[in-house]
Amino acid sequence: MKKIILIIVALIAMFIGVGGILPALAKVRDLGAIPGPFVGSYTLGVFLVTLVSTCTICTFFRKRATTPGV
């Protein structure tokens, strides 16, 4: 049950992160720069996506290293 909750939390964090990045990138495409109100959401989005992806990769390699016969 704990693993399912962690997966759901990670997916929600990933969706929130991508949801913060994409609107800021759309403004960059339109205006050529990130407007002030989008800097916070962009920074939070990059932080969340980086955190979730790093934890996923570290968990994958940790499980792979401890699995015998792999």
pLDDT at residue 18 above 90? Answer: yes
Domain total in the chain: 1
Enclosing domain of residue 29 = 2-66
pLDDT at residue 25 above 90? Answer: yes
pTM: 0.80
pLDDT at residue 2 above 90? Answer: no
Tokens of 26: 């759309």
pLDDT at residue 26 above 80? Answer: yes
DSSP string, the chain: -HHHHHHHHHHHHHHHHHHHHHHHHHHHHHHSS--HHHHHHHHHHHHHHHHHHHHHHHHHHHHHHHSTT-
Span 8-36, average pLDDT:
92
